[in-house]
Protein backbone atom coordinates (compact mmCIF):
# COMPACT_ATOMS: atom_id res chain seq x y z
CA UNK A 1 0.00 0.00 0.00
CA UNK A 2 1.29 3.45 -0.87
CA UNK A 3 0.78 6.10 1.78
CA UNK A 4 0.94 9.64 0.46
CA UNK A 5 2.89 11.20 3.28
CA UNK A 6 2.31 14.74 2.10
CA UNK A 7 -1.33 14.47 3.18
CA UNK A 8 -0.28 13.97 6.79
CA UNK A 9 2.39 16.63 6.86
CA UNK A 10 5.42 14.31 6.84
CA UNK A 11 8.33 15.32 4.65
CA UNK A 12 9.56 12.10 3.06
CA UNK A 13 13.11 13.49 3.00
CA UNK A 14 13.11 13.03 6.78
CA UNK A 15 12.20 9.38 6.61
CA UNK A 16 14.71 6.86 7.90
CA UNK A 17 14.53 3.56 9.71
CA UNK A 18 14.93 5.41 12.99
CA UNK A 19 12.22 7.93 12.08
CA UNK A 20 9.74 5.19 11.15
CA UNK A 21 10.58 3.32 14.35
CA UNK A 22 10.10 6.40 16.51
CA UNK A 23 6.99 7.59 14.64
CA UNK A 24 5.01 4.54 13.48
CA UNK A 25 2.32 5.34 10.90
CA UNK A 26 -1.23 4.58 12.03
CA UNK A 27 -3.00 4.02 8.71
CA UNK A 28 -6.46 3.85 10.23
CA UNK A 29 -5.90 7.24 11.89
CA UNK A 30 -4.65 8.68 8.59
CA UNK A 31 -7.78 7.59 6.76
CA UNK A 32 -10.06 8.75 9.57
CA UNK A 33 -8.47 12.19 9.53
CA UNK A 34 -9.12 12.46 5.80
CA UNK A 35 -12.88 12.44 6.35
CA UNK A 36 -14.19 15.87 5.41
CA UNK A 37 -17.91 16.69 5.56
CA UNK A 38 -18.66 12.97 5.93
CA UNK A 39 -16.75 12.21 2.73
CA UNK A 40 -13.65 10.05 2.34
CA UNK A 41 -11.41 10.34 -0.71
CA UNK A 42 -9.13 7.32 -1.24
CA UNK A 43 -8.50 8.07 -4.91
CA UNK A 44 -5.40 6.59 -6.56
CA UNK A 45 -3.68 5.06 -3.54
CA UNK A 46 -2.82 1.74 -5.22
CA UNK A 47 -5.20 -0.07 -2.88
CA UNK A 48 -5.63 -3.77 -3.61
CA UNK A 49 -8.27 -4.22 -0.91
CA UNK A 50 -10.45 -1.82 1.02
CA UNK A 51 -9.22 -1.62 4.63
CA UNK A 52 -11.82 -3.36 6.79
CA UNK A 53 -12.16 -0.47 9.21
CA UNK A 54 -13.52 1.74 6.42
CA UNK A 55 -16.77 -0.19 6.71
CA UNK A 56 -17.15 0.94 10.32
CA UNK A 57 -17.43 4.58 9.22
CA UNK A 58 -21.19 4.30 9.00
CA UNK A 59 -21.66 8.08 8.98
CA UNK A 60 -19.98 8.41 5.56
CA UNK A 61 -22.11 9.96 2.82
CA UNK A 62 -19.41 10.01 0.11
CA UNK A 63 -16.74 7.43 -0.62
CA UNK A 64 -14.26 7.67 -3.47
CA UNK A 65 -12.23 4.52 -4.20
CA UNK A 66 -11.55 5.30 -7.86
CA UNK A 67 -8.33 4.49 -9.68
CA UNK A 68 -6.96 1.81 -7.41
CA UNK A 69 -6.20 -1.87 -7.98
CA UNK A 70 -9.31 -3.32 -6.35
CA UNK A 71 -10.42 -6.71 -7.66
CA UNK A 72 -13.35 -7.08 -5.28
CA UNK A 73 -15.40 -5.14 -2.77
CA UNK A 74 -16.36 -6.75 0.52
CA UNK A 75 -20.01 -7.48 1.27
CA UNK A 76 -19.42 -5.19 4.27
CA UNK A 77 -19.99 -2.25 1.92
CA UNK A 78 -23.67 -2.80 2.68
CA UNK A 79 -23.09 -1.38 6.17
CA UNK A 80 -22.51 2.12 4.78
CA UNK A 81 -26.20 2.83 4.43
CA UNK A 82 -25.78 6.61 4.62
CA UNK A 83 -23.78 6.79 1.38
CA UNK A 84 -25.23 9.07 -1.26
CA UNK A 85 -22.21 8.86 -3.58
CA UNK A 86 -19.94 5.89 -4.28
CA UNK A 87 -17.13 5.94 -6.82
CA UNK A 88 -15.50 2.61 -7.74
CA UNK A 89 -14.34 3.63 -11.22
CA UNK A 90 -11.02 2.58 -12.76
CA UNK A 91 -10.36 -0.58 -10.80
CA UNK A 92 -10.31 -4.28 -11.70
CA UNK A 93 -13.69 -5.35 -10.39
CA UNK A 94 -15.38 -8.31 -12.08
CA UNK A 95 -18.54 -8.10 -9.98
CA UNK A 96 -20.27 -5.90 -7.43
CA UNK A 97 -21.19 -7.30 -4.02
CA UNK A 98 -24.84 -8.25 -3.67
CA UNK A 99 -25.00 -6.15 -0.50
CA UNK A 100 -24.64 -2.98 -2.56
CA UNK A 101 -28.41 -3.02 -2.96
CA UNK A 102 -28.65 -2.09 0.73
CA UNK A 103 -27.28 1.37 -0.05
CA UNK A 104 -30.75 2.72 -0.68
CA UNK A 105 -29.71 6.35 -0.12
CA UNK A 106 -27.26 6.29 -3.03
CA UNK A 107 -27.88 9.02 -5.58
CA UNK A 108 -24.66 8.56 -7.58
CA UNK A 109 -22.91 5.29 -8.41
CA UNK A 110 -19.80 5.26 -10.60
CA UNK A 111 -18.32 1.91 -11.64
CA UNK A 112 -16.86 2.75 -15.06
CA UNK A 113 -13.59 1.30 -16.33
CA UNK A 114 -13.75 -2.04 -14.59
CA UNK A 115 -14.22 -5.61 -15.82
CA UNK A 116 -17.82 -6.17 -14.76
CA UNK A 117 -19.64 -8.90 -16.69
CA UNK A 118 -22.93 -8.47 -14.84
CA UNK A 119 -24.75 -6.32 -12.32
CA UNK A 120 -26.59 -7.58 -9.24
CA UNK A 121 -30.04 -8.79 -10.29
CA UNK A 122 -31.68 -6.59 -7.67
CA UNK A 123 -29.83 -3.39 -8.60
CA UNK A 124 -33.28 -1.83 -8.97
CA UNK A 125 -33.51 -1.63 -5.18
CA UNK A 126 -31.33 1.51 -5.35
CA UNK A 127 -34.43 3.57 -5.94
CA UNK A 128 -32.81 6.89 -4.92
CA UNK A 129 -30.21 6.62 -7.69
CA UNK A 130 -30.03 9.63 -10.01
CA UNK A 131 -26.72 9.04 -11.80
CA UNK A 132 -25.37 5.62 -12.78
CA UNK A 133 -22.14 5.27 -14.77
CA UNK A 134 -21.18 1.75 -15.88
CA UNK A 135 -19.21 2.81 -18.95
CA UNK A 136 -16.36 0.63 -20.21
CA UNK A 137 -17.08 -2.76 -18.71
CA UNK A 138 -18.00 -6.15 -20.23
CA UNK A 139 -21.74 -6.19 -19.66
CA UNK A 140 -23.85 -8.18 -22.14
CA UNK A 141 -27.19 -7.24 -20.58
CA UNK A 142 -28.81 -5.03 -17.98
CA UNK A 143 -30.90 -6.60 -15.20
CA UNK A 144 -34.65 -6.26 -15.73
CA UNK A 145 -34.89 -4.66 -12.29
CA UNK A 146 -33.11 -1.57 -13.60
CA UNK A 147 -36.50 -0.26 -14.68
CA UNK A 148 -37.28 0.34 -10.99
CA UNK A 149 -34.75 3.18 -10.89
CA UNK A 150 -37.46 5.72 -11.56
CA UNK A 151 -35.43 8.64 -10.14
CA UNK A 152 -32.55 7.98 -12.53
CA UNK A 153 -31.63 11.06 -14.57
CA UNK A 154 -28.34 9.96 -16.16
CA UNK A 155 -27.46 6.47 -17.36
CA UNK A 156 -24.10 5.89 -19.02
CA UNK A 157 -23.56 2.41 -20.46
CA UNK A 158 -21.23 3.05 -23.39
CA UNK A 159 -18.35 0.74 -24.27
CA UNK A 160 -19.90 -2.52 -23.14
CA UNK A 161 -21.15 -5.56 -25.05
CA UNK A 162 -24.90 -5.07 -24.77
CA UNK A 163 -26.94 -6.81 -27.45
CA UNK A 164 -30.29 -5.58 -26.17
CA UNK A 165 -31.96 -3.31 -23.65
CA UNK A 166 -34.75 -4.29 -21.26
CA UNK A 167 -38.08 -4.10 -23.09
CA UNK A 168 -39.54 -1.91 -20.35
CA UNK A 169 -36.68 0.61 -20.36
CA UNK A 170 -39.32 3.27 -21.00
CA UNK A 171 -40.32 3.12 -17.35
CA UNK A 172 -37.28 5.22 -16.45
CA UNK A 173 -39.49 8.30 -16.68
CA UNK A 174 -36.96 10.72 -15.12
CA UNK A 175 -34.13 9.87 -17.51
CA UNK A 176 -32.56 12.90 -19.21
CA UNK A 177 -29.20 11.53 -20.42
CA UNK A 178 -28.84 8.09 -21.97
CA UNK A 179 -25.47 7.07 -23.42
CA UNK A 180 -25.22 3.60 -24.99
CA UNK A 181 -22.46 4.30 -27.52
CA UNK A 182 -20.28 1.44 -28.72
CA UNK A 183 -22.29 -1.63 -27.86
CA UNK A 184 -23.81 -4.37 -30.05
CA UNK A 185 -27.44 -3.28 -30.11
CA UNK A 186 -29.43 -4.30 -33.18
CA UNK A 187 -32.63 -2.51 -32.13
CA UNK A 188 -34.02 -0.14 -29.55
CA UNK A 189 -37.07 -1.28 -27.57
CA UNK A 190 -40.29 0.44 -28.63
CA UNK A 191 -40.82 1.62 -25.06
CA UNK A 192 -37.88 4.01 -25.42
CA UNK A 193 -40.31 6.56 -26.84
CA UNK A 194 -41.82 6.84 -23.35
CA UNK A 195 -38.64 8.51 -22.07
CA UNK A 196 -40.20 11.88 -22.72
CA UNK A 197 -37.78 13.78 -20.46
CA UNK A 198 -34.72 12.73 -22.49
CA UNK A 199 -32.45 15.60 -23.50
CA UNK A 200 -29.59 13.47 -24.85
CA UNK A 201 -29.64 10.07 -26.54
CA UNK A 202 -26.35 8.68 -27.83
CA UNK A 203 -26.51 5.34 -29.65
CA UNK A 204 -23.66 5.64 -32.15
CA UNK A 205 -21.37 2.72 -32.93
CA UNK A 206 -23.93 -0.03 -32.57
CA UNK A 207 -25.58 -2.34 -35.11
CA UNK A 208 -28.98 -0.66 -35.34
CA UNK A 209 -30.88 -1.15 -38.57
CA UNK A 210 -33.86 1.03 -37.65
CA UNK A 211 -35.30 3.43 -35.12
CA UNK A 212 -38.69 3.08 -33.42
CA UNK A 213 -41.39 4.71 -35.55
CA UNK A 214 -42.46 6.86 -32.63
CA UNK A 215 -39.00 8.30 -31.93
CA UNK A 216 -40.47 11.74 -32.53
CA UNK A 217 -42.29 11.51 -29.20
CA UNK A 218 -38.97 12.43 -27.57
CA UNK A 219 -39.72 16.09 -28.11
CA UNK A 220 -37.29 17.40 -25.47
CA UNK A 221 -34.24 15.91 -27.20
CA UNK A 222 -31.41 18.35 -27.84
CA UNK A 223 -28.86 15.75 -28.89
CA UNK A 224 -29.48 12.56 -30.86
CA UNK A 225 -26.46 10.67 -32.17
CA UNK A 226 -27.20 7.61 -34.31
CA UNK A 227 -24.01 7.68 -36.37
CA UNK A 228 -22.05 4.56 -37.27
CA UNK A 229 -25.00 2.18 -37.35
CA UNK A 230 -26.75 0.41 -40.25
CA UNK A 231 -29.81 2.62 -40.32
CA UNK A 232 -31.17 3.22 -43.83
CA UNK A 233 -34.46 4.86 -42.95
CA UNK A 234 -35.25 7.70 -40.55
CA UNK A 235 -38.87 7.76 -39.33
CA UNK A 236 -40.83 10.85 -40.40
CA UNK A 237 -41.77 11.47 -36.77
CA UNK A 238 -38.24 12.69 -36.07
CA UNK A 239 -39.38 16.03 -37.53
CA UNK A 240 -41.40 16.58 -34.39
CA UNK A 241 -38.18 16.98 -32.39
CA UNK A 242 -37.71 20.70 -32.82
CA UNK A 243 -34.80 21.23 -30.42
CA UNK A 244 -32.26 18.95 -32.09
CA UNK A 245 -28.88 20.62 -32.65
Terminal CA-to-CA distance of the chain, rounded, Å?
48
Q: What's CA 239's distance to the chain center, in Å?
A: 33
User: Is residue 140, in this structure, part of any structural domain at all?
Assistant: yes
Higher pLDDT, 27 or 127: 127
Q: Average pLDDT, stretch 193-210?
A: 97
How far, in Å, CA of 93 to CA of 109, rounded? 14
pLDDT for res 243: 83
pLDDT for res 34: 87
What size, in residues, is the chain?
245
Higher pLDDT, 148 or 244: 148
Nearest to 8 by CA among 108, 25, 21: 25
- Which has the minimum average pLDDT: 12-26, 146-160, 192-206? 12-26
User: Is residue 77, in this structure, part of any structural domain at all?
Assistant: yes
User: Is residue 197, in this structure, part of any structural domain at all?
Assistant: yes
Number of structural domains found in the chain: 1
pLDDT for res 32: 86
Contacts 24+ apart (CB under 8 A), 142-151: 142/166, 143/118, 143/119, 144/168, 145/121, 146/119, 146/172, 147/171, 147/172, 148/124, 149/123, 149/124, 150/174, 151/127
Please, which pLDDT band fits residue 12 given cuts at 50, 70 and 90? very low
Please, which pLDDT band fits residue 25 given cuts at 50, 70 and 90? low
Nearest to 52 by CA among 89, 71, 88, 79: 79
Structural domain of residue 90, as residue ranges?
Answer: 5-240
User: Is residue 22, in this structure, part of any structural domain at all?
Assistant: yes
pLDDT for res 48: 96
User: Is residue 245, in this structure, part of any structural domain at all?
Assistant: no
Any idea what the CATH number is for the domain that residue 133 is in? Answer: 3.80.10.10
How far, in Å, CA of 191 to CA of 171, rounded? 8
Q: Which residues contact 61 (CB under 8 A, 6 or more apart)?
A: 37, 38, 39, 82, 83, 84, 85, 105
- Which has the minimum average pLDDT: 26-30, 118-122, 184-188, 237-241? 26-30
> pTM for this structure?
0.88
DSSP labels, 25-49: --HHHHHHHT-BTTEEE-TTS--SS
Amino acid sequence: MVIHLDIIGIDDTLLSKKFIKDYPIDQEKIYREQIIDNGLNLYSLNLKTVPIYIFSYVHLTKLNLAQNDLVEISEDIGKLTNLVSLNLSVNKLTKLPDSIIKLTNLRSLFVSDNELTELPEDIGELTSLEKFDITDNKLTKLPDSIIKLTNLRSLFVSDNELTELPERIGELKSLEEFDIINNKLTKLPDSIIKLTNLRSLYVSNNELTELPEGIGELTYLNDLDISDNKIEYIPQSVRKIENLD
